Chains A and B, each alone.
Chain A
Amino acid sequence: DGGITQSPKYLFRKEGQNVTLSCEQNLNHDAMYWYRQDPGQGLRLIYYSQIVNDFQKGDIAEGYSVSREKKESFPLTVTSAQKNPTAFYLCASSIDTGPRETQYFGPGTRLLVL
Chain B
Amino acid sequence: DQQVKQNSPSLSVQEGRISILNCDYTNSMFDYFLWYKKYPAEGPTFLISISSIKDKNEDGRFTVFLNKSAKHLSLHIVPSQPGDSAVYFCAASDGDMRFGAGTRLTVKP
| Chain A residues engaging chain B, CB cutoff 8 angstroms | 4, 6, 9, 35, 40-45, 90-92, 97-100, 102-108, 110
Nearest CB in chain B: distance from A81 CB, A: 24
Q: Which residues of B contact A97 (CB under 8 A)?
A: 95
* Interchain CB contact under 8 A, B46 and A102: yes
Q: Please state if A42 and B43 are interface contacts (CB–CB under 8 Å).
A: no
Contacts of B31 in A (CB 8 A): 99-100
**Contact present for A105 and B43 (CB under 8 Å):** yes
Which of B11-19, B64-72, B96-104 makes up part of the contact surface? B96-104
Show 10 residue pairs from A and B whose CB-CB distance is below 8 angstroms, ordered by the A residue.
A41-B101, A42-B101, A42-B102, A91-B43, A98-B95, A99-B93, A99-B95, A100-B31, A100-B32, A103-B97
For B94, list chain A residues within 8 Å (CB): 99
Q: Which residues of B contact A103 (CB under 8 A)?
A: 46, 97
Write the chain B residue with the least CB distance to A99: B95
Contact A90 B95 (CB under 8 A): no
Question: Could you say which residues of chain A place their CB within 8 Å of the CB of B6?
Answer: 42
Residues of A within 8 A of B49 (CB): 100, 102
Instruction: Please list the 7 inter-chain residue pairs (A to B) with the smallest Cβ-Cβ separation, ordered nearest first.
Output: A105-B43, A42-B99, A43-B99, A99-B95, A100-B32, A42-B101, A105-B44
B79 on the interface (CB 8 Å rule)? no
Q: Does B9 contact A (CB under 8 A)?
A: yes
Instruction: Tell me the smallest distance from the CB of B56 to a CB of chain A, in Å.
Output: 17
- Interface membership of B2, Cβ < 8 A: yes
- In the complex, how many angstroms separate the beta carbon of B40 from the nearest chain A beta carbon? 10
Report A21 CB to chain B, min CB distance, Å.
13
Interface residues of B in 44-102 (CB under 8 A from A): 44-46, 49, 51, 89, 93-102
